[in-house]
């Protein structure tokens, strides 16, 4: 029971917030209950660490790997809740239910991180997806959020269909839904069912991770969804899905299959190329960051594939890269949230022209986040890419490393285009955001410090990811 504490606390927090809304509708009250629930969940990870590794029913495996990803997901959700508090105060909506949906989405992503069975895999995915339908369309009186919610609904349903069909084929071939048992049954299973099933599962996961060529929903959803929700999709949501992808391939030995390696290679190259090249054409910052996230998922796949040759180095590279990506992406979308007003979000790059002359600290923080995404030294993003390249070199993935380096150079252009706009001549007609809530200001400060800390002194974080193996 102790190993289930994070899931119990997240579920309890969602129910308590929902009941609190029924008795006393107050934005501040719902926000406080949400923070308390998320803080309790984070605290529970320490006692859970003493009783793992442990298989909790056939559905969930609580080990260091799951605990690390659950920690990332809950911490990201806590940051999103703080950003959403100031953001929702400017919007013409009832904000309390937002926190119920956010907690439910965090629960779904956490279940994915611990999944070792197709049933928990699908349940976690659907809990996450259903909550995101509502979160994407939360300012329901505006056209773009509604469009984002509908597009995510349709494409999430399509990806779920691919997943279910693939799971059905693999189950028909192996007779089991458990990852570990499936690995034992695969050698004697009919490949005519296993290969199409595995391919359909990979397609469904690629939709969720926004890997090219399954990425077309990403820029529209990122642009239409509220900035805090976009931050959640780009971080916590993808962490849960990436965690279950790693566990699924690791348990089944898929990294030793030439077909699986080829498929991952194609997805990685396509994502790095498409994400960076299409970002060059964007004048909308949220769409630019959407295409950037596609490229970054391609970078993570390089380390993921490197696990075939050096599992320890690749696992550390994936864990460290996602940590750096979380800090940077939460900071970037957090600054968009901080600059939002009742009239809307500053989406165009022109909206940020001359920001340094009006809000210097916000401009400096946004510039640091963009430079980290570009992989400039002294930022978390630089070391994250360095460790991915090191993992790829250990596995002799020279083609993937070449594509990573070339596309990163391409990406430098569009990031610097935004940075140049921040420090250009001030445009007095550009909107100026109201004062931020103290909690959001502190959060952005912590993310900025974390960005530099991880980039300058990464040793504590590397020890953490190396100490949490996939066992």
Q: Are residues 205 and 316 located together in one domain of the fold? A: no
- Among the candidates 193, 224, 252, a domain finishes at 252
Structure tokens at 46: 């320490």
State pTM to two decimals. Answer: 0.92
Other beta carbons within 10 Å of 29:
15
- Among the candidates 252, 276, 291, a domain finishes at 252
pLDDT in tens, 304-323: 888 765 666 666 778 888 89
Q: Are residues 258 and 245 located together in one domain of the fold? A: no
Q: Contact, 342 vs 348, CB < 8 A?
A: no
Structure tokens at 445: 């400060």
Residue-level pLDDT at 86 = 85
Q: Residue 8: which residues within 8 A CB-CB, separation 6 or more?
A: none
Q: Are residues 66 and 202 located together in one domain of the fold? A: yes
Please say if the pLDDT value at position 435 is more than 70. Answer: no
Q: How confident is the model at residue 434 (pLDDT cuts 50, 70, 90)?
A: low
Q: Are residues 236 and 269 located together in one domain of the fold? A: no
pLDDT in tens, 358-393: 888 888 999 999 999 998 988 898 988 988 888 888
Please tell me the distance from the alpha carbon of residue 343 to that of residue 360, in angstroms, as a whole number.
22
Structural domain for 102, as ranges: 1-252
Q: How confident is the model at residue 273 (pLDDT cuts 50, 70, 90)?
A: very high
Residue-level pLDDT at 118 = 92
Q: Are residues 173 and 307 located together in one domain of the fold? A: no
pLDDT in tens, 132-180: 998 988 876 777 788 888 888 888 888 899 999 999 999 998 888 988 8
Residue-level pLDDT at 294 = 93
Residue-level pLDDT at 62 = 87
Please say if the pLDDT value at position 64 is more than 90. Answer: no
Q: Are residues 248 and 259 located together in one domain of the fold? A: no
- The answer to whether the peptide bond before residue 213 is cis (omega within 30 degrees of 0) is yes
What is the arithmetic mean of pLDDT over 96-103? Answer: 92
Of 106-110, 450-454, 455-459, the range with the lowest mean pLDDT is: 455-459
Please tell me the distance from the alpha carbon of residue 141 to that of residue 9, in angstroms, as a whole number.
33
What is the full DSSP assignment across 255-290?
GG-HHHHHHHHHHHHHHHHHHHHHHTT--BHHHHHH
pLDDT in tens, 253-269: 655 677 778 888 999 99
Q: Tell me the CA distances in angstroms from 77 to 252, 286, 366, 387, one per residue in order.
A: 30, 19, 20, 26
Q: Residue 342: which residues within 8 A CB-CB, separation 6 or more?
A: 90, 91, 92
Average pLDDT, the chain: 86
Residue-level pLDDT at 77 = 94
Whole-number percent of the chain with pLDDT over 90 = 39
User: Which is more confidently placed, 379 or 462?
Assistant: 379
Q: Are residues 267 and 136 located together in one domain of the fold? A: no
Q: Contact, 372 vs 385, CB < 8 A?
A: no
Q: Contact, 338 vs 436, CB < 8 A?
A: yes
Q: Are residues 357 and 266 located together in one domain of the fold? A: yes
Q: Are residues 353 and 298 located together in one domain of the fold? A: yes
Residue-level pLDDT at 73 = 94
Q: Are residues 327 and 433 located together in one domain of the fold? A: yes
Indicate the number of domains in the chain: 2
Other beta carbons within 10 Å of 213:
11
Q: Are residues 365 and 313 located together in one domain of the fold? A: yes
What is the arithmetic mean of pLDDT over 423-446? Answer: 71
Residue-level pLDDT at 128 = 93
Q: Are residues 263 and 178 located together in one domain of the fold? A: no
Please say if the pLDDT value at position 279 is more than 70. Answer: yes
Q: How confident is the model at residue 41 (pLDDT cuts 50, 70, 90)?
A: very high
- Among the candidates 197, 223, 252, a domain finishes at 252
pLDDT in tens, 172-213: 988 889 888 888 888 788 878 888 888 899 899 999 898 988
User: Which is more confidently placed, 1 or 339?
Assistant: 339
What is the arithmetic mean of pLDDT over 90-117? Answer: 90
């Amino acid at each position: 029971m102790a190993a289930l504490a994070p899931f119990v606390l997240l579920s309890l927090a969602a129910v308590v917030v929902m009941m609190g809304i029924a008795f006393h509708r107050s934005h501040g009250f719902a926000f406080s209950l949400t923070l308390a629930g998320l803080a309790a969940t984070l605290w529970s990870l320490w006692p859970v660490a003493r009783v793992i590794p442990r298989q909790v029913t056939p559905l969930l495996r609580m080990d260091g790997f799951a605990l690390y990803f659950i920690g990332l997901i809950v911490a990201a959700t806590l940051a999103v809740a703080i950003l959403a508090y100031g953001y929702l105060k400017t919007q013409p909506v009832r904000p309390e239910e937002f926190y119920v949906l956010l907690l439910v989405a965090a629960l779904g992503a956490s279940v994915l991180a611990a999944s070792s069975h197709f049933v928990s895999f699908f349940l976690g995915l659907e809990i996450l997806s259903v909550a995101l339908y509502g979160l994407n369309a939360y300012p329901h009186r505006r056209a773009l959020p509604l469009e984002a919610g509908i597009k995510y609904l349709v494409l999430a349903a399509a990806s779920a269909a691919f997943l279910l069909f693939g799971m059905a084929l693999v189950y028909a071939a192996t007779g089991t839904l458990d990852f570990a048992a499936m690995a034992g049954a695969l050698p004697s299973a009919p490949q005519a069912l296993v290969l199409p099933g595995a391919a359909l599962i990979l397609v469904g996961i690629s939709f969720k991770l926004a890997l090219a060529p399954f990425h077309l929903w990403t820029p529209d959803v990122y642009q239409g969804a509220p900035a805090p929700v976009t931050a959640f999709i780009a971080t916590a949501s993808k962490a849960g899905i990436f965690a279950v992808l790693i566990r699924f391939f690791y348990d089944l030995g898929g990294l030793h299959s030439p077909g699986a390696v080829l498929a991952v290679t194609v997805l990685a190259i396509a994502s790095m190329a498409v994400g960076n090249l299409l970002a060059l054409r964007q004048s909308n910052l949220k769409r630019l960051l959407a295409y950037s996230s596609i490229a970054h998922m391609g970078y993570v796949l390089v380390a993921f594939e490197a696990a075939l040759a050096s599992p320890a180095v690749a696992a550390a590279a994936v864990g460290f890269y996602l940590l750096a990506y979380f800090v940077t992406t939460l900071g970037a979308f957090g600054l968009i949230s901080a600059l939002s007003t009742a009239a809307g979000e500053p989406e165009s790059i022109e909206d940020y022209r001359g920001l340094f002359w009006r809000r210097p600290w916000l401009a400096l923080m946004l510039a640091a986040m963009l430079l980290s995404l570009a992989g400039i030294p002294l930022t978390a993003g630089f070391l994250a890419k360095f460790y991915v390249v090191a993992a790829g070199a250990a596995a002799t993935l020279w083609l993937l490393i070449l594509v990573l380096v070339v596309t990163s150079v391409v990406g430098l252009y569009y990031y610097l285009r935004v940075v140049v706009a921040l420090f250009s001549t001030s445009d007095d007609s550009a909107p100026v955001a109201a004062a931020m809530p103290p909690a959001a200001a502190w959060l952005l400060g912590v993310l900025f410090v974390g960005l530099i800390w991880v980039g300058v002194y990464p040793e504590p974080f590397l020890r953490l990811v190396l100490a949490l193996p996939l066992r």
